[in-house]
Amino acid sequence: MSPIAVVFKKEMREILRDRRTLMAIGLAALATPIVLFVISQVSTKTASQAYTVGYSGTVPAGLDTLFNAVGLKLERVDDPAAAAKHQVDIGVAFSASGVDEYLDPTRQSAQLADVRFQTVLSRYDAAKVAASLQEKGVDPSVLNPLPVMLHPLSSPSQAVGNSFLSFFLPYILITMSLTGGLSAALDTSAGERERKTLESLLLTPAPRSQVLVGKILAVSSISLVAALASIVSMLVALSQVRFGGNGGQSFEVQLSPLAATVMVWLAVLLAASFSSLTITLGTLARNFRQGQAYATPLYFITIFPASIVLFIPDFNPNLAYYLIPILNAVLVLRDAITHNSVAWDTLAVTSLSLILTGALCFYAALKLFTREALLVRS
């Protein structure tokens, strides 16, 4: 058996007996469904929540029925402005000249009640205008001289699902590729030094490059398993939960074969790169705790690229941006999910960039692994 296989086998055996790593993978797989379930419950509760409208004056005929239908409860008050501060969600004063609405924008319940209130009023206004026109023999469609007919080319629920996936899937893929194997990476690098096993290991005639490859392969495998387990659990959870109650928005979650293939390929590259990087950091560290401190900034690296997709959904950079590791993976995966297509030039540049990153990290780890200072420091 080659030293690579010997080290890989031993590392896997140790990792699978390490509660920290197993718990990290288990929690990662469970965390997404739990978070989605909580969001679903909160959105359901919000959708069915009734809000109170404190009013004065006379409610126009029929409007009270419309308010009731959307969960707005009317309550007569003396001063709607004063009541809107604490007593009710929004205050409304009906008068002959129109409607005065009072709300405190810092209260979320006021904002939600306002949205419903405005929707009802706009429908009421439109219905009133249409009725008046019809009474006078005028076709109400004159108010809409250029009607628009919308023809969606995919189901709206799938669009919502894709939009959701294009943010969460790259985020989870990157985060889990990093954190899923982090404990194992630090254990196999900083841990060797801390346990005083490093010297014995380096005393064997096994080439150090092969020892390192065995370690990176083992950590990469665990990272990959953690990332894929989290994504599968997220997809299953998304297909089961509904958002906004029974009549609310559901996601149609479909990961196309192309997107799934791209995702697995990127997961392999990310896992290998992150494993090399974290083992390098762990080799620099004197012990496990110091290794964790060195690795902490990496968490931010995983958050920023995914955030770009969230905050700039139409971010379409030129090819040079695909040289930036991690950001490139986010962008390629976003395109594969939302458009079900992959530009091969961006995928090639992304793959090259991630492979080079992994190779550089491997080289750095190997350099550290063969330095006398490694032993002297220990």
Task: Indicate which single residue of 153, 196, 300, 311 sits in contact with other proteins (rule: CB under 8 A).
Answer: 196
Residues 209-238 that bind other proteins (CB under 8 A): 211
Nearest one of 97, 93, 96 to 56, comparing CA atoms: 93
By DSSP bridging, strand 51-56 and strand 72-76 are parallel
C-alpha to C-alpha distance for 263 and 272, rounded to whole angstroms: 14
Task: Indicate which single residue of 201, 268, 324, 360 sits in contact with other proteins (rule: CB under 8 A).
Answer: 201
Kindly state whether residue 17 participates in binding other proteins, applying the rule CB under 8 A.
yes
Which region among 102-110, 174-182, 196-204, 346-354 touches other proteins (by CB under 8 A)? Answer: 196-204
Question: Considering CB under 8 A, how many residues would be counted as binding other proteins?
Answer: 26
Kindly state whether residue 22 participates in binding other proteins, applying the rule CB under 8 A.
no
Task: Indicate which single residue of 96, 142, 203, 320 sits in contact with other proteins (rule: CB under 8 A).
Answer: 203
Comparison of 7 and 176: residue with beta carbon closer to other proteins? 7
User: If you search the block for the tokens 């909580």, which residue do you land on?
Assistant: 38
User: If you search the block for the tokens 């005028």, which residue do you land on?
Assistant: 138
Kindly state whether residue 206 participates in binding other proteins, applying the rule CB under 8 A.
yes
Cβ–Cβ under 8 Å, residues 120 and 68: no
Kindly state whether residue 20 participates in binding other proteins, applying the rule CB under 8 A.
no
Nearest one of 301, 305, 369 to 331, comparing CA atoms: 305
Cβ–Cβ under 8 Å, residues 124 and 63: yes
Rounded to a whole number of angstroms, the minimum distance from the CB of residue 201 to other proteins is 8
Cβ–Cβ under 8 Å, residues 248 and 304: no
Rounded to a whole number of angstroms, the minimum distance from the CB of residue 271 to other proteins is 22
Cβ–Cβ under 8 Å, residues 11 and 214: yes
Provide the greatest CA pair distance for the chain.
Answer: 99
Tokens found for residue 253: 């979650």
Cβ–Cβ under 8 Å, residues 309 and 294: no
Comparison of 119 and 378: residue with beta carbon closer to other proteins? 378
Kindly state whether residue 199 participates in binding other proteins, applying the rule CB under 8 A.
yes
Which region among 84-92, 190-198, 221-229, 279-287 touches other proteins (by CB under 8 A)? Answer: 190-198
> Which residues here bind other proteins, judged by CB under 8 A?
1, 3, 6-7, 10, 13-14, 17-18, 195-207, 211, 372, 375-376
